[in-house]
Amino acid sequence: MRPSFSNEYGGTFLLIEPGNNFEFSLIDPIFVGARPVTQVEWSSIMGFNPSKFKDGWSAGLRPVESVTWFDCQDYISELNKIDNEDKLGLGGFFRLPTNDEWEYFCRAGTKTKWYNSQKDADVDDVAWHAGNAGATTREVGQKQPNEWGLYDLHGNVSEWTSTLESGKYIAKGGSWLTESESTSVVSKRHFSPNKKSDSIGLRLVWQPN
Is the separation of the CB atoms in 93 and 207 below 8 Å?
Answer: yes
For residue range 16-27, what is the model confidence (pLDDT) as tens digits? 988 876 566 787
Looking at residue 187, its pLDDT comes to: 95
Domain chopping of the chain, boundaries: 4-208
| Burial 25-49, CB ≥16 within 10 A → b, else e | ebeeebbbbbbbbbbebbbebbeee
Largest CA distance in the chain: 44
**Average of pLDDT values for 116-130?**
89
**What predicted TM-score, i.e. pTM, was given to this entire model?**
0.95
Range of lowest pLDDT (4-13, 20-29, 189-198): 20-29
For residue range 42-65, what is the model confidence (pLDDT) as tens digits? 999 999 999 999 999 999 999 999
Q: Which CATH superfamily is domain 4-208 in?
A: paralog of FGE (formylglycine-generating enzyme) (3.90.1580.10)
Looking at residue 206, its pLDDT comes to: 97
Rounded distance, CA 106 to CA 152, Å? Answer: 10
Q: Alpha helix locations (H) across the chain?
A: 39-46, 69-82, 99-107
pLDDT tier at 101, thresholds 50, 70, 90: very high
